[in-house]
Amino acid sequence: MSKQNRTAIEPTRDQNYAEWYQQVIKAADMAENSDVRGCMVIKPWGYAIWENIQRALDIKFRETGHRNAYFPIFIPKSYFEKESEHVEGFAKECAVVTHSRLEDDASGGLKVAGELTEPLIVRPTSETIIGASFARWVNSYRDLPLLINQWANIVRWEMRTRLFLRTSEFLWQEGHTAHESFEEAMEESRKMLDVYADFAKDYLAIPVIKGEKTESERFPGAVNTFCIEAMMQDKKALQSGTSHFLGQNFAKASGIKFQNREGEIEYAWTSSWGVSTRLIGALIMAHSDDNGLVLPPKIAPSHLAVIPIYRNEEEKAHVLDYCKKVTDLFERTEWEGIRIYTEMDERDLTGSERNWYWIKKGIPLRIEIGPRDIASGSVMVARRDKDPREKQSVQLENLKDYCLSTLSEIQDIYYQRALAFREKNTVKIDSKDEFYAFYTAKNKNKPEIHGGFAHSHWCGDPACEEQIKADLKVTIRCIPFDKEIEEGHCIVCGKPSHERVIFAKSY
RNA sequence: CGGGAUGUAGCGCAGUCCGGUUAGCGCGCUCGGUUCGGGACCGAGAAGUCGGAGGUUCAAAUCCUCUCAUCCCGACCA
């Protein structure tokens, strides 16, 4: 391949999407696999993204009346057993602590000892342990609603893992709330789904579809599971956040009871909702290109990379002095509520090496500064959303305004681009043949990127859903809230249906 | 847990079928020099229990046995 057309990431998305994904993470230095099977090390550039996600969401949680708290990482096995569906759903992926210490064995190694009377489950989710606290905290309707959020790590012993998308241990937030009525708990779970959807749109620049899961995809023990679904660039769906209406199931299991306004004892109505480090996976797959990570400015760890260009010590002093003026322009600058961070890259590498380094990291703007720019009182600005070679000369006095308005522009372009991609790959399908053709790769040996979101009719029978999954690995991602009320026939069995649902292959 | 594959320098690999000097290559790293505004080049250098244990042999990265680990494809999943 000629240097002109060389991409920073190999293979490209078209060549091998899964491998491309791994390479983007590596090239941006976001995370790596650890020696612990299925667990990742999140490196500073990746962790900063997570911190930005936390910061933005935490404010929204606070604004909607929630307070942060922290509960134990260990859940007694007996707690876990109280909600039967819940146990069944998570039993196969639990890490269990059975011993409390290590002792020398005869051969210079260590053996486990001190068996616990009751095994402890490393939390795969905290409904039961938080429920136990809620049971103590709630006595009267005056104690409700109880609106708690926890930022935590959790463990789900997955068979197969992929950085950010599915790891045995991951970081997330889990909101847990208790209410005095069905309506209020339902409203809460829908409200938090909106918070997630708005966040995905406004910060991650990812359009999502809000909807409800079918019974087979529902959270174990929940009455309703709501979700936001996003389309990745390989046209597969990624569940990016969930919110559950738990009815009184968990309240009954944990004994969350209160005296209501009529003086009667009643079980509380609860909800739970969460997003995880998986959002970073969504971010990568929604926007990144064959030159590496692409970051919406609102979630980027840093916004501007300053790259001084010089040939000798004399020029260096001169150029660095000018660069300082540039970085000073952005000192303590806020843009749309976000603190602007600059990266000064003085490393002894060629200009192009430093440029590509920041392209691969997805930094929104690169500012090159050399003797020629200084002579004309300007700098060269390059945008991550444009061709790597494209640069714009900007006068120093206009630079700050130019950069800030360009960040807004880039943020918007990424969203519009992702939205257009989803629209382009979303279809209405009414015939079974067409449906099967849509989800079948032309090249069986090396499947090309194919498929997308299909709005099709479904009769509501789990057997039809199962059929599609078995035949095509396609599942119902959700029953969208914005559904068309329309009579039709089930894509599988042909029986009458009154709504379209969204089908897709998913992560 | 079923099916397939792989363990050789920090990373990626060749060498293994058919045993034979001192185990190579690319990238990266270190040092020196020329470069630097579109992924530079030249020269020198450091770095390896060949996954582990046992066996066969004059001789093992290479053959045999056992073992450990990882990856891929399934089933399970945010």
Helix, strand, coil proportions of chain A in percent (round to 5)?
35, 30, 35
Residues 159-218/A with CB within 7 Å of nucleic chain B are 159-160, 165-168, 170, 217
Exposed, middle or buried by CB within 10 Å (0-12, 13-18, 19+), for A502?
Answer: buried
Q: What is the dihedral of CA A499, A500, A505, A506, to 10 degrees?
A: -60
A107 CA → B54 C1’, Å: 19
Tell me the pLDDT tens digit for each residue of A157-213. 887 788 899 888 899 999 999 999 999 999 999 999 999 999 999 999 999 999 999
Contacts of A91 (CB under 8 A, 6+ apart): none
Q: Which of A206, A209, A236 is nearest to A419 (CA)?
A: A206
Q: Nearest nt (C1') to A169 (CA)?
A: B78
| Nucleic strand B within 7 A of Cβ A18 | yes
pLDDT per residue over A80-127, tens digit each?
A: 888 878 777 887 788 888 888 877 776 666 777 888 899 899 999 999
**What pLDDT does residue A271 have?**
97
Cα separations in angstroms, A171 against A148, A155, A275, A278, A483: 17, 9, 9, 9, 33
d(CA A177, CA A144): 9
- Whether the pLDDT of residue A2 is over 50: the answer is no
Paired tokens of A401: 């305004």
- Asked if residues A167 and A158 have their Cβ atoms less than 8 Å apart, the reply is yes
Mean pLDDT of A333-361: 93
Q: What would the mean pLDDT of A386-412 be, rounded to a whole number?
A: 96
Contact A204, A286 (CB under 8 A): yes
> Between A443 and A281, where is the model more confident?
A281
Q: Greater confidence, A84 or A318?
A: A318
* pLDDT confidence of residue A108: 62
Nearest to A289 by CA among A140, A413, A453, A155: A413
**Nearest nucleotide to A217, CA against C1' atoms:** B77
At residue A3, the pLDDT reads 42
H helix or E strand, kind and range, residue A204: none
Identify which has the larger pLDDT, A324 or A483.
A324
**Closest nt to residue A92, judged CA to C1':** B76
For residues A467-487, give the mean pLDDT.
Answer: 90
Give pLDDT tens digits for A28-43. 989 888 877 788 889 9
Strand partners, A120: A76, A97
Band of pLDDT at residue A4, cut at 50, 70 and 90: very low
The arithmetic mean of pLDDT across residues A265-294, rounded, is: 95
Q: Which nucleotides of B are covered by protein (CB under 7 A)?
A: 1, 35-40, 69-78
Map residue A452 onto helix, strand or coil. Answer: coil
pLDDT at A106: 65
A245 in Cβ contact with A224 (< 8 Å): yes
Residue A109 pLDDT: 66
Maximum separation of any 2 CA atoms in chain A, in Å: 84
Cα distance between residue A223 and residue A332, in whole Å: 47
Residue A251 has pLDDT above 90, yes or no: yes
Distance of alpha carbon A198 from alpha carbon A343, whole angstroms:
29
Cα separation of A126 and A80, whole Å?
Answer: 9
A110 or A148: which leads in pLDDT: A148
Mean model confidence pLDDT for chain A: 92
pLDDT greater than 90 at residue A447: no
What confidence score (pLDDT) does residue A182 get? 97
Residue A469 has pLDDT above 50, yes or no: yes
DSSP state of A100: E
Does at least one atom of strand B sit less than 7 Å from the CB of A460?
no
**Domain architecture of chain A: domains with CATH:** 17-75+123-287 (3.30.930.10), 300-422 (3.40.50.800), 426-504 (3.30.110.30)
Least confident of A38-47, A207-216, A409-418: A38-47
How many degrees, rounded to 5, is the angle at CA A292 between CA A290 and CA A298?
A: 125
pLDDT at A315: 86
Q: Kindly report which amino acid residue has its CA closest to the C1' atom of nucleotide B72.
A: A160
